[in-house]
Amino acid sequence: MMKWLRATLRGDPCQLQLDFEGPPQNAEQLLARLRALGLKGITRCRLTRNRAVMVSFSGRELRIHEAYLGATPEVLEAIVAFVCGRTRHERRAAQRIILSFPIRAPLRTPVRRPGRTNEEDEALVRELMYWHAEYNARYFNGMLSTVPIRISRRMRSRLGQYTAASPYGEPAEIAISRAHIRRHGWAEALHTLLHEMVHQWQAESGYEIDHGAAFRAKAIEVGIAPHARRELRAAKAGRVVSPHELLLRAARQE
């Protein structure tokens, strides 16, 4: 009895393990489980229902999809390795394990992405698809997948966005802001497309989708600005460019 008590007071791992029978039920229990597996530097865990990003962390906060409450010990260990890994190899290996965990969308959750391309913008989409194939062959040796491209009329602050495929079966997608095309011209829109294709290259090559060293190196290689933001000026102030003119510009681009 005294031996058991001393082990309990010392925090013997065999005794602590008794507290973790069964899957965690909330964020606090999940954080405790991850800490027991070696997680460091994280003081807060927040459960999400984000269908595109399964696990992410910033500062001392870990954001993780609620489905991982039922993850296996191997997957939980991979989450710890993803957060605390010291090398790219460790994090990439952990990422593969994390994404292999099957996540099913609740029946109440619609499997769709917000926004659709307006019929008036279909010609722009076809032209962007042409340039995606052209840039793929020219800069990526044709290794990138063909992904849907959408013209967004809602996107105001962002020029473009690459969204990776989700575990719910939604394909990867590139969205380009229609306001960006109108304000800054077709050449800048193609620059943005190539920027998002570098993010696509990151995703399909097993890198984290960010603006870190891998992104900057590839951006310089393909000849675009190697940073997240760039200063842009309107093509002609106060002038709205028609889709027909944009297509003519694209034909003259190269």
User: Could you read off the pLDDT of 153-199 as tens digits, one per residue?
Assistant: 888 788 999 998 876 667 889 999 999 999 999 999 999 999 999 99
> Mean pLDDT per segment of 10 residues, for the chain of length 254 residues?
40 42 85 93 87 79 90 92 88 87 57 66 94 96 94 87 78 92 93 95 87 92 83 54 44 39
Long-range contacts of 126-130 (CB under 8 A, 24+ apart): 127/246, 127/247, 127/250, 128/174, 128/176, 128/189, 128/193, 130/250
d(CA 59, CA 35): 16
Instruction: Please tell me if the domain spanning 2-100 has the same topology as the one spanning 119-226+239-253.
Output: yes
pLDDT at 19: 45
Q: Does domain 2-100 have CATH number 2.40.50?
A: no
26: left (phi over 0), alpha (psi -120 to 50) or beta: beta
CA 217 from chain center: how many Å? 19
Contact 192, 179 (CB under 8 A): no
Per the confidence metrics, is the pTM higher than 0.95? Answer: no
Domain locations in the chain as residue ranges: 2-100, 119-226+239-253
Two tokens at 94? 């952990």
Contact 72, 78 (CB under 8 A): no
β-strand partners of 65: 48
β-strand partners of 44: 61
pLDDT at 23: 83
CA 21 from chain center: how many Å? 33
Range 119-226+239-253: architecture per CATH: 2-Layer Sandwich (3.30)
d(CA 132, CA 243): 18
pLDDT at 109: 45
In Å, the largest CA–CA distance within the chain is: 86
